[in-house]
């Protein structure tokens, strides 16, 4: 096992794309850099993302996509009601196109620029090989620039010098070791696995009313250490919420049945009543938000044989990543349904009547029958008198077989914690920067007011991770030489 360098200019806490981007830019500026990663392998949640936001990129220009940085900025600020840091948002948007080129230069390939929402601007630059390919490319470039990367080495404390950090305590090979440094970049990916904080700041119960996906060991270490250094808090309690149906370890990630279950047909709450315009199916944030209103942690998606036939023969309405593009015909849906039903899971059910389905879902059968009857009337009339859903999605449920998937409230990460300025410098409660301390990616607050903004800036979480990392690395090297 390699040794830990006992002295380095910059310590980066975490090896997701935010940390690796920071490391790379700081090294590019001439600093000696060490990245410490808590887990035995690098990349964290960043291994999973699929698309990165950018506006004004070469790919968009080639396709004549007329969406300007000004428009993206205005839309983003409007969505967040200006309860975010406008300078931070502007710098993120302004640097997004250049960041696609920056990633390309480091070997990242892009497949297309697209969007899964009907009326949203095409900002989602799909990466070949998902985030894992970006992590690999950045780690390789960082190593070429002399960056030391150490895995299985959690940073536990930042040591305080006269002006900002003087070092960190890192656990390496079972021992606590002090590493001297002048700059610390906090890039530890938030607190998605910290049940106490999720309860305290988001009011949700981890594993019961909300379940994290793609996050391991995220206890908010970086946020805690920044606070201990005098940082102000910003953005605690904002989760990147989504709704997943069916969700359980026995079902593979993004499967055909999920592709069918997430469609805007008929959804009911744990009582068996409709609760929203299912047309919001395209907008993950709205889905996660509406689902999180239910303390049970779930709602249901219903469909029947007629709807199933439509998905097989004509295709689905809403896509699911690049796995199930919009209009995709779910050829293997019958086989997958049979397989899922044979698991006798409590997350996905099939029945020959609404009464039987209600029994399996543990909802009042009379309530569910009334809901389905009323919904079928809306379908016959071509008008959703309850939630004004687009008539295109009004397809009645007549059987003979009925299906229900439990739709769980899940989240892809927490989005905030440490207050920063647009240079990614960590600031105290008076807005004064703490010298030598930076926070990036999911540890940084100021970008999301209360919900993840995805409609007009799809892919902004990964873009923010890379861009905030780059900005931190650049400013760190200026700080060291200044
Ligand atoms: C399934 C899934 C799909 C997604 N798809 C998209 C998408 O398509 N587009 C998009 O924009 N976003 C997407 N996201 C969100 C996006 O992946 C994240 O917002 C982004 O990658 C976060 O990067 P990060 O560097 O801040 O955190 P991370 O990538 O999580 O990196 C943080 C690292 O810090 C490490 N760490 C924690 N504590 C310590 C410590 N004490 N010492 C050392 N290391 C520590 C962690 O182990 C982790 O490796 C998705 C997320 C998931 C889960």
Q: What is the tens place of the pLDDT at every residue in 46-87?
A: 999 999 999 999 999 999 999 999 999 999 999 999 999 999
Nearest to 262 by CA among 197, 337, 318: 318
CA 475 to centroid of ligand 1, rounded, Å: 22
The rounded percent of the chain whose pLDDT value lies above 90 is 91
Per-residue pLDDT of 355-389, as tens digits, reads 999 999 999 999 999 999 999 999 999 999 999 99
What value does the mean pLDDT of the chain take?
95
User: Of 360, 379, 410, which closes a domain?
Assistant: 410
pLDDT given for residue 300 in this prediction: 98
Atom of ligand 1 nearest to the CA of 218: 37
Whose C-alpha lies nearest to ligand 1, atom 48? 44
Does residue 217 sit within a domain? yes
Does residue 4 sit within a domain? no
Q: What share of the chain is helix, strand, coil (3-state, %, to 5)?
A: 35, 20, 45
Ligand 1 binding pocket, CB closer than 6 Å: 13-19, 36-39, 44-46, 48-51, 131, 154-155, 187-189, 213-214, 217-218, 221, 412-413, 441-442, 459-462, 465
139, 414, 462: which to mutate for ligand 1, most atoms within 8 A of CB? 462
To the nearest 10 degrees (0 to 180), the angle between helices 130-144 and 17-28 is: 20
Task: Give yes or no for residue 143 having a pLDDT over 60.
Answer: yes
pLDDT given for residue 319 in this prediction: 86
Q: What is the mean pLDDT of residues 20-34?
A: 98
Per-residue pLDDT of 93-106, as tens digits, reads 999 999 999 999 99
Q: Give the pTM.
A: 0.96
- Count of domains observed in the chain: 2
Residue 90, domain CATH: 3.50.50.60
CA 153 to centroid of ligand 1, rounded, Å: 17
Nearest to 409 by CA among 275, 212, 270, 196: 212
The DSSP symbol for 441 reads G
Nearest to 243 by CA among 267, 227, 216, 218: 267
CA 463 to centroid of ligand 1, rounded, Å: 12
CA 379 to centroid of ligand 1, rounded, Å: 42
Whose C-alpha lies nearest to ligand 1, atom 14? 49
- Strands of 323-416, DSSP E: 348-351, 402-414
Using DSSP bridges, classify how beta strands 183-186 and 233-234 pair: parallel, antiparallel or unpaired: unpaired
Looking at per-residue pLDDT, the higher value among 339 and 248 belongs to: 339
How far the first Cα of the chain sits from its last, in Å, is 35
Per-residue pLDDT of 31-45, as tens digits, reads 999 999 999 999 999
What distance in Å separates the CA atoms of residue 427 and residue 445, rounded to the nearest whole number?
A: 11
For residue 304, give every residue at least 6 positions away whose Cβ sits within 8 Å of its Cβ, in sequence order, or none. 397, 398, 399, 400, 401, 402, 403
Residue with tokens 């391991």: 216
What distance in Å separates the CA atoms of residue 462 and residue 482, rounded to the nearest whole number?
A: 30
User: Of 410, 432, 457, which closes a domain?
Assistant: 410
| DSSP string of 318-372, one letter each residue | S-BTTTB-TT---TTHHHHHHHHHHTT-SSEEEESSHHHHHHHHTS-HHHHHHHH
Task: Give yes or no for residue 155 having a pLDDT over 60.
Answer: yes
**Phi, psi dihedral angles at 7 (to 5 degrees):** -145, 135
Dihedral angle sign, alpha carbons of residues 204, 207, 209, 210: positive
Same domain for 386 and 471: no
CA 441 to centroid of ligand 1, rounded, Å: 8
pLDDT given for residue 317 in this prediction: 94
- Structural domain of 80: 10-238+415-481
Task: Give yes or no for residue 453 having a pLDDT over 90.
Answer: no
CA 170 to centroid of ligand 1, rounded, Å: 20
Atom of ligand 1 nearest to the CA of 219: 38
Does residue 83 sit within a domain? yes
Instruction: Kindly report the number of other CB atoms within 10 A of residue 343's CB atom.
Output: 13
Using DSSP bridges, classify how beta strands 402-414 and 211-212 pair: parallel, antiparallel or unpaired: parallel
Whose C-alpha lies nearest to ligand 1, atom 6? 49
Instruction: Kindly report the number of other CB atoms within 10 A of residue 406's CB atom.
Output: 23
Nearest to 190 by CA among 227, 239, 230: 239
Does residue 111 sit within a domain? yes
Looking at per-residue pLDDT, the higher value among 246 and 249 belongs to: 246
**Phi, psi dihedral angles at 205 (to 5 degrees):** -105, 115
Nearest to 17 by CA among 122, 183, 192, 142: 142
Confidence of residue 255 (pLDDT cuts 50, 70, 90): confident
Confidence of residue 254 (pLDDT cuts 50, 70, 90): confident
Atom of ligand 1 nearest to the CA of 51: 8
Same domain for 334 and 384: yes
What six digits make up the tokens of 51? 């698309």
Looking at per-residue pLDDT, the higher value among 4 and 419 belongs to: 419
Confidence of residue 454 (pLDDT cuts 50, 70, 90): confident
Per-residue pLDDT of 179-228, as tens digits, reads 999 999 999 999 999 999 999 999 999 999 999 999 999 999 999 999 99
The tally of CA atoms less than 13 A away on the side-chain side of residue 389 is: 26
Q: What is the mean pLDDT of residues 415-425?
A: 98
Task: Give yes or no for residue 1 having a pLDDT over 60.
Answer: no
Same domain for 360 and 452: no
Same domain for 317 and 261: yes
Same domain for 424 and 279: no
Residue 376, domain CATH: 3.90.700.10
Maximal CA-CA distance, the chain: 74
What six digits make up the tokens of 372? 């389905």
CA 352 to centroid of ligand 1, rounded, Å: 43
Q: Is 60 helix (H, G, I), strand (E, B) or coil?
A: helix
pLDDT given for residue 439 in this prediction: 98
Same domain for 434 and 382: no
Same domain for 230 and 118: yes
pLDDT given for residue 30 in this prediction: 97
Confidence of residue 443 (pLDDT cuts 50, 70, 90): very high
What six digits make up the tokens of 264? 């805007």
Confidence of residue 118 (pLDDT cuts 50, 70, 90): confident
Q: What is the mean pLDDT of residues 325-340?
A: 91
What distance in Å separates the CA atoms of residue 181 and residue 50, rounded to the nearest whole number?
A: 34
Q: What is the mean pLDDT of residues 260-287?
A: 96
CA 44 to centroid of ligand 1, rounded, Å: 5
């Amino acid at each position: 096992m390699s040794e830990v360098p006992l002295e380095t200019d910059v310590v980066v806490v975490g090896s997701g794309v935010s940390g690796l981007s920071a490391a790379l830019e700081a090294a590019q500026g001439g600093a000696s850099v060490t990245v410490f990663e808590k887990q035995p392998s690098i990349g964290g949640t960043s291994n999973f993302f699929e698309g990165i936001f950018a506006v004004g990129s070469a790919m968009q220009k080639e396709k004549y996509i007329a969406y300007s940085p000004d428009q993206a900025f205005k839309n983003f600020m409007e969505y967040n009601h200006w309860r975010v840091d406008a300078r931070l948002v502007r710098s993120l948007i302004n640097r997004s196109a250049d960041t696609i080129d920056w990633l390309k230069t480091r070997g990242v390939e892009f497949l297309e620029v697209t969007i899964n929402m009907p009326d949203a601007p095409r900002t989602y630059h799909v990466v070949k090989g998902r985030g894992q390919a970006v992590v690999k490319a950045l780690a390789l470039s960082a190593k070429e620039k002399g960056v030391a990367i150490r895995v299985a080495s959690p940073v536990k404390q930042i040591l305080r010098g006269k002006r900002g950090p003087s070092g960190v305590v890192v656990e390496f090979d079972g021992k606590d070791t002090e590493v001297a440094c002048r700059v610390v970049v906090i890039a530890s990916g938030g607190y998605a696995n910290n049940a106490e904080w999720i309860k305290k700041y988001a009011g949700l119960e981890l594993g019961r009313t909300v379940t994290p996906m793609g996050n391991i060991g995220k206890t908010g270490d970086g946020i805690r250490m920044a606070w201990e250094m005098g940082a102000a808090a910003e953005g605690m309690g904002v989760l990147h919420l989504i709704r997943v149906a069916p969700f359980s370890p026995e079902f593979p990630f993004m499967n055909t049945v999920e592709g069918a279950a997430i469609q805007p047909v008929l959804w009911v709450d744990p009582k068996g009543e409709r609760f929203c315009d299912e047309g919001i199916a395209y907008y993950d944030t709205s889905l996660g938000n509406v689902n999180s209103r239910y303390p049970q942690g779930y709602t249901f998606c219903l469909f029947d044989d007629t709807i199933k036939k439509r998905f097989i023969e004509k295709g689905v309405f809403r896509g699911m990543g690049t796995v199930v593009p919009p209009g995709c015909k779910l050829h293997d849906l019958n086989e997958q349904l049979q397989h899922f039903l044979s698991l006798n899971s409590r997350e996905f059910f099939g029945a020959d009547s609404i009464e039987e389905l209600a029994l399996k879902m543990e909802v009042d059968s009379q309530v569910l029958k009334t809901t389905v009857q009323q919904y079928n009337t809306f379908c016959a009339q071509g008008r959703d008198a309850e939630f004004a859903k687009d008539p295109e999605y009004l397809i009645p449920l007549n059987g003979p077989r009925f299906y229900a998937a439990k739709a769980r409230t899940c989240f892809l990460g927490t989005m905030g914690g440490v207050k920063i300025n647009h240079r990614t410098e960590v600031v105290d409660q008076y807005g004064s920067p703490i010298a030598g301390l930076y926070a990036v990616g999911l540890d940084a607050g100021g970008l999301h007011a209360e919900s993840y903004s995805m409609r007009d800036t799809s892919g902004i979480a990964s873009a923010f991770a890379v861009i905030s990392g780059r900005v931190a690395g650049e400013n760190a090297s200026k700080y060291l030489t200044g």
